Amino acid sequence: MARNFASLLQVGILVCLGSFTIANGLSVEERLQQLSDQMTWIGYEDVKSSPTYFSVSKSESGFAQPYIPIPFEGEILNVGGAMNLPSGKFTTPRAGTYFFSASGTVQFPTTSSRLTCGMHLYKNGVAIGYSPTDSSNSEWDLETFSIQVTVSLQTGDEIWLAIYNSVSSGVSLYGYGALHFTGFFV
């Protein structure tokens, strides 16, 4: 049974109860800081952890340009700085698996015919997620869309959300914080 700090380290167990000191008047925290260079991370060899995750929103309404990355005005989180709000593009800082989610609202004008708007999530210009919306309401209407994808990316790959070419006249994105784009390294 371990009876002192050295033996606890030797068997890989360290229990801290309250604040106390060890040899040479050092606190446990100070001693652990001294030992940090000798510690080994459990997991993949030579992987340095660098968090990457973002959540942005669109406050302006009226965006209706197909194929153009949707710019965002509201930054909820952007840890790692990989999401560029004005360009609407996420640039992959390191290779790996990422998860992305986009949801929002499309506004449709009063019409007597069916109107459509398709939303795509793109990876380097190739669609990797799609969500169609439509309305044939005789009054102004709001319809929602939602896209979720998990994708393997290489450093420098770009991900963005855009309207697909199937946007009808008078149809546009509804802003006011009702459109969200989120992503993170898995």
One-character DSSP codes across 108-149: E-S-SS-EEEEEEEEETTEEEEEEEEEE--SS-EEEEEEEEE
Whole-structure pTM value: 0.72
C-alpha span between 10 and 24 (Å, rounded): 19
Q: Cβ contacts of residue 167 below 8 Å, gap of 6+?
A: 64, 66, 116, 117, 118
Q: What is the per-residue pLDDT for 140?
A: 85
Amino acid 32: pLDDT: 63
Sign of CA dihedral 44, 90, 161, 102: positive
- Tens digit of each residue's pLDDT (9 = 90 or more) over 57-87: 999 999 999 999 999 999 999 999 999 999 9
- Alpha carbon of 104 to those of 33, 77, 142, 145, 181: distances in Å? 46, 18, 10, 6, 9
Q: Percentage of the chain with pLDDT > 70?
A: 74
What pLDDT sits at residue 113? 86
CA angle 55, 57, 62 (to 5 degrees): 155
Q: For residue 8, what pLDDT is reported?
A: 46
The predicted-structure confidence for 36-64, as pLDDT tens digits, reads as follows 656 555 445 555 567 999 999 999 999 99
For residue 108, what are the contacts with CB-CB under 8 A and spacing of at least 6? 115, 117, 135, 137, 140, 141, 142, 143, 168, 170, 171
Q: In the chain, pLDDT over 90 holds for what percent of residues? A: 57
Q: What pLDDT, in 10s, does the model give residues 148-176?
A: 999 999 999 999 999 987 677 889 999 99
Q: Six-digit token pair at 6? A: 């050295």
What is the overall mean pLDDT for the chain? 83
Which domains does the chain show, CATH number per domain? 53-185 (2.60.120.40)
Question: Alpha carbon 167 to chain centroid distance?
Answer: 26
